[in-house]
């Protein structure tokens, strides 16, 4: 299985963990970054474990927008590390932090998301997107102007018509361990075709329900797959095969 969205730089003892994950059937992860510092750390991990990691460079939207200096540094980094980078991410639009951002900062986030989409187009890279609830529609509108770019709406929460539009545009949508205990995510999974569905942990983000006392690692993927067997009425091998195929198709 492949974890299609994880913040690997936030874990300690990555080598030891990776060996355990490999022995339990996790053969790759899509490692995203949140800012310049974590982008450098993620690329360092990619250098150490090239076959295990698909590396993403990006700036998480739930914080103040980037400074021009940071944008320039990202451009230089993407040019110099082009071969090591598989995607732009995670990038997107803020939702949870909206109240803490001024109107000017919110506008800047919209501009900077469009800037990332343009980089993705120019460099022919897919996008890992964080844009939830009311922001999903906005992100989709920006993406629609650049139809050659493929995107992954990670841990999506959005109104059904917006989800249907994202699917119709050919993008991918991923599910976290929350699908095991949250009806909202289960309903969403029913309208996402298996050919556009990915599984992720967003680790080390902690979960509730049956995972409350557990550390989040890619080992939780098997619980998502188990839930999908029931929701999609497909055998385990088909769920695993299709989600791996989708992840490789998007991120390779
Ligand atoms: Zn994330």
User: What is the Å distance from ligand 1's center to 160 Cα?
Assistant: 22
Domain span including residue 247? 2-251
pLDDT in the model for residue 10: 98
Average pLDDT over residues 87-102: 97
Q: Give me the chain's average pLDDT, please.
A: 98
Question: Residue 252 pLDDT more than 90?
Answer: no
Per-residue pLDDT tens for 200-238?
999 999 999 999 999 999 999 999 999 999 999 999 999
- 49 falls in which pLDDT band (50, 70, 90)? very high
Average pLDDT over residues 104-109: 98
Mark the residues whose beta carbon lies below 5 A from ion ligand 1: 202
pLDDT in the model for residue 221: 98
Q: What is the dihedral of CA 70, 58, 202, 169, to 10 degrees?
A: 140
User: What is the Å distance from ligand 1's center to 16 Cα?
Assistant: 22
* Residue 113 parent element (H or E): helix 103-123
Count of other CB atoms within 10 angstroms of residue 168: 8
Q: Phi, psi (5° rounding) for residue 181?
A: -135, 5
For residue 16, the domain's CATH number is 3.20.20.140
Question: Residue 116 pLDDT more than 90?
Answer: yes
User: What is the Å distance from ligand 1's center to 40 Cα?
Assistant: 16
Question: Residue 176 pLDDT more than 90?
Answer: yes
pLDDT in the model for residue 110: 98
Phi-psi region of 151 (alpha: psi -120 to 50; beta: other; left: phi over 0): beta
User: What is the Å distance from ligand 1's center to 112 Cα?
Assistant: 18
Instruction: Identify the residue whose tokens are 């300690």.
Output: 12
User: Can you tell me the distance from the alpha carbon of 40 to that of 163, in angstroms, rounded to the nearest whole number?
Assistant: 33
pLDDT in the model for residue 17: 98
Average pLDDT over residues 143-153: 97
Q: How many domains does the chain have?
A: 1
User: Can you tell me the distance from the alpha carbon of 39 to that of 91, in angstroms, rounded to the nearest whole number?
Assistant: 12
User: What is the Å distance from ligand 1's center to 134 Cα?
Assistant: 18
Q: C-alpha angle 69/49/196, rounded to 5°?
A: 80
User: What is the Å distance from ligand 1's center to 155 Cα?
Assistant: 8
| pTM attached to this predicted model | 0.97
């Amino acid at each position: 299985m492949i974890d299609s969205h994880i913040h690997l730089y936030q874990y300690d003892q990555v080598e030891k963990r990776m060996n355990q994950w490999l022995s339990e059937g996790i053969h790759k992860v899509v490692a995203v970054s949140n800012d310049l510092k974590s982008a450098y750390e993620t690329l360092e991990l990619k250098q150490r474990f090239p076959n295990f990691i698909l590396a993403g460079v990006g700036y998480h939207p739930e914080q103040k927008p980037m400074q021009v200096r940071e944008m320039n540094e990202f451009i230089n980094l993407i040019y110099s590390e082009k071969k090591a980078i598989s995607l732009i991410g995670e990038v997107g639009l803020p939702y949870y932090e909206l109240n803490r951002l001024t109107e000017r900062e919110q506008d800047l986030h919209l501009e900077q998301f469009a800037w990332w989409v343009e980089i993705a187009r120019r460099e022919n890279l897919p996008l890992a997107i964080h844009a939830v609830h009311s922001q999903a529609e906005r992100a989709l509108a920006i993406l629609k102007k650049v139809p050659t770019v493929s995107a992954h709406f990670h841990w999506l929460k959005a109104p059904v018509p917006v989800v249907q539009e994202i699917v119709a545009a050919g993008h991918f949508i991923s599910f976290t361990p929350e699908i095991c205990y949250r009806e909202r995510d289960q309903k969403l999974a029913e309208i996402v075709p298996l050919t556009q569905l990915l599984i992720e942990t967003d680790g080390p983000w902690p979960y509730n329900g049956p995972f409350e006392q557990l550390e989040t690692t890619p080992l939780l993927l098997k619980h998502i797959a188990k839930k999908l067997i029931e929701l999609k009425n497909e055998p385990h091998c088909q769920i695993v095969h299709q989600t791996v195929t989708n992840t490789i198709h998007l991120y390779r």
